[in-house]
């Protein structure tokens, strides 16, 4: 199965790989790439073609163990021998050794989940070569710092490109009509809110997510506005 893969070059080094369901990201590394997430299962060829075909994939970072993020990782490793890095708290889920805790749905999320979930096939497990801890530094052409953002899943993690002021947040954050919002379908919603607040304190200009368009400018201020709404009352935050 191959779905359409739309490529958007957010910068000369960061590309967004979009299907109708989810976004993964490619980060330039020499003549090749590193990947952040791998879309739904069956997209390995679409991803490689989108990057130019025959390219080297050095590292694949999985932000968390959901099927729409780890989906094509196992096949990509087969094709490219890439190294897989993932948050220590997600390794058991990603390797298929532990069951992912289910989302604690807010009422408005239930119909959305019922609409989206049947379109996400189950991902094959993939071996994780490197377990990532908070603060770990990825020694890429553009170095990235591992920032823990649990709550969406127990070990959800974001990557911060400090120098470039770019955050790739996995599903800890999403966006709707250009505005950031708390990611949906969280296993621990209060913890997800705490993580959102932490991420909103980072000095970032651009923020990228698994779901919803990237915020291309002034991301810190936009995230801070949403974080402040959550501070007033977690229940009052409007749904998209
Ligand atoms: Zn997710």
Which tokens is 149 given? 């953002």
Q: Which helix (H) or strand (E) holds 29?
A: strand 23-29
Model confidence band, residue 236 (pLDDT cutoffs 50, 70, 90): very low
Query: 147 — phi, psi (to 5°)?
Result: -120, 115
Can you tell me which residue has the tokens 């919002």? 181
- For the cut 70, the answer to whether the pLDDT of residue 73 exceeds it is yes
195-226 exposure pattern, b = at least 16 Cβ within 10 A, e = fewer: bbbebbebebebbbbbbbbbbeeebbebbeeb
What's the CA dihedral at 19, 156, 178, 108 to 10 degrees? 90
Tell me the mean pLDDT in the region 111-139: 95
For the beta carbon of residue 124, count every other beta carbon within 10 angstroms.
Answer: 14
For the beta carbon of residue 141, count every other beta carbon within 10 angstroms.
Answer: 11
Contact status, residue 26 vs residue 15, Cβ threshold 8 Å: yes
d(CA 206, CA 215): 6
Residue 105, pLDDT score: 94
**CA 64 to ligand 1 centroid distance, Å:** 7
- For the cut 70, the answer to whether the pLDDT of residue 233 exceeds it is no
Model confidence band, residue 80 (pLDDT cutoffs 50, 70, 90): very high
Name which of 62, 55, 80, 186 is nearest 125 in CA terms. 62
Tell me the mean pLDDT in the region 183-207: 97
**CA 193 to ligand 1 centroid distance, Å:** 15
What's the CA dihedral at 167, 171, 172, 175 to 10 degrees? 80
Model confidence band, residue 232 (pLDDT cutoffs 50, 70, 90): low
**CA 112 to ligand 1 centroid distance, Å:** 14
* Residue-range domains of the chain with CATH: 6-236 (3.60.15.10)
d(CA 58, CA 193): 33
Which tokens is 113 given? 């989940």
- For the cut 90, the answer to whether the pLDDT of residue 4 exceeds it is no
- For the cut 60, the answer to whether the pLDDT of residue 41 exceeds it is yes
The average confidence (pLDDT) of the chain is: 94
Neighbours of ion ligand 1 (CB under 5 A): 66, 171
- For the cut 60, the answer to whether the pLDDT of residue 187 exceeds it is yes
**CA 57 to ligand 1 centroid distance, Å:** 23
């Amino acid at each position: 199965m191959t779905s359409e893969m739309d490529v958007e070059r957010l910068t000369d080094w960061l590309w967004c790989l979009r299907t109708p369901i989810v976004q993964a990201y490619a980060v330039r590394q020499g003549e090749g790439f590193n990947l952040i997430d791998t879309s739904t299962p069956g997209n390995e060829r679409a991803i490689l073609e989108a990057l130019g075909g025959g390219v080297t994939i050095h590292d694949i970072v999985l932000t968390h163990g959901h099927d729409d993020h780890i989906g094509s990782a196992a096949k990509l490793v087969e094709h490219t021998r890439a190294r897989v890095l993932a948050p220590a708290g997600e390794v058991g889920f990603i390797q298929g050794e532990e069951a992912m805790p289910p989302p604690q749905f807010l009422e408005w999320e239930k119909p959305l989940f019922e609409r989206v979930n049947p379109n996400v096939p189950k991902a094959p497990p993939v071996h994780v070569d490197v377990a990532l801890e908070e603060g770990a530094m990825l020694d890429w052409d553009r170095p990235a710092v591992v920032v823990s953002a649990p709550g969406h899943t127990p070990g959800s993690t974001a990557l911060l490109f400090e120098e470039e002021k770019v955050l790739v947040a996995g599903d800890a954050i999403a966006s709707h009509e250009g505005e950031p919002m708390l990611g949906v379908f969280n296993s621990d919603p209060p913890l997800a809110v705490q993580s959102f607040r932490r991420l909103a304190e980072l000095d970032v200009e651009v923020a990228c997510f698994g779901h919803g368009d990237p915020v291309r400018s002034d991301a810190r201020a936009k995230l801070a506005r949403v974080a402040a709404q959550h501070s007033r009352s977690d229940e009052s935050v409007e749904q998209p």
